[in-house]
Amino acid sequence: MTKTFSVRASIEDIDKGDGDAFAQHVLSIWRRTEGNLTSEYIRAFPQMILFDGSPKVNDSPDLLECGEEALSVKILGDGWAENRDKAREFLGRDYCSVVGRDYFDATTQQLPMYSIVQAEMQNTAGTTINVRYQRLILPVRTMGGAHFLFGYSFWYQKERQVQAALPTSESPVRRKSETQDYANLFLPAQ
């Protein structure tokens, strides 16, 4: 069984090249608009997930809509997010609890959160898979004051500079160099 974890990294790491070009693009939109929801997000939406903007501290927020090109569709399969309760089943309770803090902090601080996430999930075919990816959470608000979260996830890049942020060998999860290569793979659980 794979240990689920979320390790927060500095948002500036995306600017330094740890994020892919799309992460850099949507972060620049957030900065330019100061977190206000604009049509630029709508054009970028196919690669993102839209969440309710009022998450609980130790639970992932309600999923409102999933872009058809989002990483979660590639990992879990088409239709995984069609039903909110079913979506939570695919992700698992441990996952929702572990990642919940990042969503909560993004909402309460109204600041982007950037993390490395590792998890074991079940796809729509019923296969349990291990994944490691990077995630950018962007809190946005409408002109009327409604709050939402955009989540953009992208494959973990093993050449990243944030290796020191990953759990050490003293924790239940070993350093990247001591584990299987998770980059761009869907691995059956062992």
The CATH code of the domain that includes 77 is: 3.30.450.20
Residue 4: φ, ψ to 5°: -85, 130
In a domain, 88, yes or no: yes
- Amino acid code (one letter) for 103: Y
Structural domains in the chain (count): 1
E strands, the chain, are: 5-9, 49-52, 63-66, 113-122, 128-141, 147-155, 187-188
Mean pLDDT check: name the lowest of 26-30, 50-54, 80-84.
80-84
Residue 2 is predicted with a pLDDT of: 59
107 backbone φψ class: left, alpha, beta (φ>0; ψ -120 to 50):
alpha
Query: Is the pLDDT reported for residue 49 higher than 50?
Result: yes
Instruction: Provide the token pair at 106.
Output: 């993004």
**Burial per residue of 151-163, b for 16 or more beta-carbon CB atoms within 10 angstroms, e otherwise:** bbbbbbbeebebe
Q: What is the mean pLDDT of the chain?
A: 78
Do residues 141 and 148 lie in contact, with contact meaning Cβ atoms separated by under 8 Å? yes
Residue with the larger pLDDT of the pair 183 and 34: 34
Residue 9 is predicted with a pLDDT of: 92
Mean pLDDT check: name the lowest of 51-60, 101-110, 169-178.
169-178
In a domain, 186, yes or no: no
In a domain, 77, yes or no: yes
Per the structure, the complete domain to which residue 19 belongs is given by 5-179
Mean pLDDT check: name the lowest of 74-78, 150-154, 171-175.
171-175
Residue 4 is predicted with a pLDDT of: 76
Most trustworthy range by pLDDT among 22-31, 67-76, 116-125: 22-31
pLDDT band at 181 (very low <50, low <70, confident <90, very high): very low
Residue 122 is predicted with a pLDDT of: 74
In a domain, 116, yes or no: yes
In a domain, 117, yes or no: yes
pLDDT over 70 percentage in the chain: 75
In a domain, 187, yes or no: no
Residue 175 is predicted with a pLDDT of: 27
Do residues 137 and 151 lie in contact, with contact meaning Cβ atoms separated by under 8 Å? yes
132 Cβ contact list (under 8 Å, min separation 6): 116, 117, 118, 156, 182, 183
pTM score, two decimals? 0.77
Residue 88 is predicted with a pLDDT of: 67
